Structure 1
């Protein structure tokens, strides 16, 4: 039993050491493969991003690296939970903090399409749907007491 656990732990360590995640920025102009430590394994930039200037390139690359690192950390949490069990994963989260996808922080806000940027007065509202139920539950007098 102990030997199986040691082998499972060694396998997990090897898997975590080689783990990466690939994420594309919401604007589609950058793709990054990163490790849970934040090491950049691959970086692909769309030529259109380079035309936006150095500051835009830096911001998009930084955001994408953060997203890829968070994804890799999340995958490592998932692998650890599968290998060691949920109880151990909860203990690790209590020490290391919540897994990235459990937290609500997201550094990237996708750009709004032009239709959504219009003023509120110009937006078309969805038509209201009337409630056709008419509280059928209360229409049956035998149910009222």
Structure 2
């Protein structure tokens, strides 16, 4: 029993060391900025393409901020993944219930959407076809508690 507790303590300490140094490097979708950040949001490295600097201070600020957010989210997600591997999925789910969903579970979309030349066309809606050709099917699902 003592050996099992000792192994758990060592695994927990190793996980804490791993999480403390976890970083991710992300390139902005426009390719003009690359950031390495920790799960705490600390900058480790920042690379700006010269073309970004020509777009003005506001554009630089928005792209850098967004790229830091993406890199931080990626580092947090990596931390969640490491935690799930070390402690098991059940414990990772418990942690998510306390701190909130992991970043990739909620979204991985940049704040600033890419600009396209043509507006997106809305897809045509096709009429829904029932799986079973049964006239009572809709009546059954309308009131799941039934009438008594």
Give the TM-score normalised by the residue count of structure 2: 0.75
CA contact (8 A) 1:34 1:40 kept: yes
Residue 67 of structure 2, aligned match among 60, 64, 68: 64
Tell me the residue number matched to 1:40: 43
1:97 aligns with 2:100: yes
The superposition leaves residues 74-123 of structure 1 with CA deviations (integer Å, 9 ceiling, x where unpaired) of: 00000000000001000000000000000036343442343x349x6xxx
Which residue pairs with 1:84 in the alignment? 87
Where do residues 1-145 of structure 1 align in structure 2 (5 Å cutoff)? Answer: 1-104=4-107, 106-114=109-117, 116-117=118-119
Using the alignment, how far apart are the partners of 2:107 and 2:60 within structure 1? 25
SS of residue in 1 equivalent to 2:106: coil
Runs of 4+ in structure 1 deviating by more than 2 angstroms, as ranges, are 104-110
Preserved CA contact (<8 Å) 1:22 1:31: yes
SS at match of 1:23: strand
CA RMSD of aligned residues (A): 1.8
Paired residue secondary structure (2:114): coil
Q: TM-score, normalised by structure 1?
A: 0.77
Secondary structure of 1:60 counterpart: helix
Residue segments in structure 1 that go unaligned for 5+ positions in a row = 121-145
